[in-house]
Amino acid sequence: MNNLISPVSYVLPEGKTRVKLYCLSDLHADAKGCLDWLKSNCVRKDDVSVHTVFICAGDVSSEIKVLHDVFMHLKQHYNDVCFTPGEKIEK
């Protein structure tokens, strides 16, 4: 049995006419200036009829407060936020 979801079967939320994906990897938000860059550049400017999905991949932060700030900012500006962790190794 195939349990994969076909892209054709995706149902848009009510009032949305299309989906727009954004992706960013290895933000390293605890490095100087990176969190400010995110807050200045990752701001939704689309028509409200567009369902936005932000994919945040890789290393974001090793500090839970910074990670929280990143996700709160993204969720304020995009309908859905997806995250996949990176492989950052602490020394």
Measure Cα distances from 26 to 3, 8, 33, 58 in Å: 31, 30, 14, 5
pLDDT tens-digit profile of 48-78? 888 899 999 999 998 999 999 999 999 999 9
CA distance 80 to 58: 17
pTM of the predicted model as reported, rounded to 2 decimal places: 0.78
Give the DSSP letter string of 3-21: -PPPGGG--PPTT--EEEE
